Amino acid sequence: MTSLSYMNKKFFLFILIAFLNLAASQYAFAQDWSSPEVEQMYQQGLNTLSRGNAPEAVAIFQKIVPLEPNNLQVKKSLATAYQLSGNYKNTLLVLDPIITSGNADAESYRVAAQAYNGLLEEKKALKTLSEGIQKNPNSGLLYYEQGIIYKGQKNYESALKSWLDGIAADPNFHLNYHEAAIAYIQTDQVIWAIIYAEIFINKEPNTKRGNDTRILLLDAYQKLFFTPSKNVNGDATVTMNPTNFEEAVKKTYLSLFFVVNDGITTENLIMLRSRFAISWFDNYASKYPFTLFSFHNEMMRNGYFDTYNQWLIGKAENPQQYQTWLETFADDVAFFEQFRIKNPLRLAASDNFNTSRNFKGFFSEKSGKSSKR
């Protein structure tokens, strides 16, 4: 069984996803309840689970199962509660018949795989996820969990492949971008760290993980331009006539080295990213249409791009200075937030320009650690 510290790290992320999935799907089963009282009891179990009291939720769902023997949602909720309380064997006792019957959804496969992983049966966990992906090929959630298990094995190449496959299959499932950004910043291909970090921040802006990713984004720009110090003529990896999306992005950025040659600061990055957006639109937008860059152009047209970049980067560079900026430009921030809520970043399958899966020798022995400023 895994350690308590592992459970603590996974607990709140898992419970958020699990609870939202359960709560969103419960209404599909409303017509199947044997009585309003049983339905109310089920809602009580969900509420208890959402508060983090998995053992009490187990007790509630256990009472419902005999009353609703054919209700798969109740059984899946019970399995989730078992999983969150660390009772992996009972999790599998509940889920194995559902999976065998062919009635399992992506979340069921994920919970079962986590239970196997909790029992240190990693091969069975990966096999379960592989089967789940075959039945749910567009589930970013299952690819994400597959990558997490590979990462735990320090198989970083397979982990990154899983997260990239998850991005391709489900471009708006945000957790794969987070893990991919962490992986890429440890390599020479930091362009993807920059892109994936920014996408993730847009998807999850107001959490500790989102703020940590802002720091990673700054680190990725630092590495791009100053590790070692580079410009478009001095970097042997820059192709003067790009043949793919990544090369075009890198060439465009490094051609603007003069904008940041005195350091990576919020103000410098605002200028850099503004010039990048203009240059990209003029030279590559028609050949490599990319939703994130179109999103930048839309904000520039509406006068929000400077505010967006402060929101994206400023807090990570200097929290006190960022707070002063927030207070000084409160109206601008409010208008930007309204715009952002009405116009969320939504990626498309056509954004998948990262198709390489050749990661042999990609990671050093020290890989797997997040970047820290």
pLDDT tens string 21-62: 554 454 444 447 889 999 999 999 999 999 999 999 999 999
Instruction: Give the Cβ contact number of residue 200 at 10 Å.
Output: 25
| Ordered per-residue pLDDT tens for the chain, 373 residues | 343 343 444 544 454 445 445 544 544 444 478 899 999 999 999 999 999 999 999 999 999 999 999 899 999 999 999 999 999 999 999 999 999 999 999 999 999 999 999 999 999 999 999 999 999 999 999 999 999 999 999 999 999 999 999 999 999 999 999 999 999 999 989 999 999 999 999 999 999 999 999 999 999 999 999 986 565 655 656 767 899 999 999 999 999 999 999 999 999 999 999 999 999 999 999 999 999 999 999 999 999 999 999 999 999 999 999 999 999 999 999 999 999 999 999 999 999 999 988 888 888 755 555 444 4
- Per-residue DSSP letter, 52: T
Contact by Cβ (8 Å): 71, 29 = yes
Say what the pTM is: 0.88
Could you tell me the CA-to-CA distances from 73 to 11, 35, 63, 68 in Å, in that order?
Answer: 21, 16, 14, 10
CA distance 199 to 312: 10
CA distance 286 to 105: 39
Alpha helices in 119-207 (DSSP H): 122-135, 140-152, 156-169, 175-184, 190-203
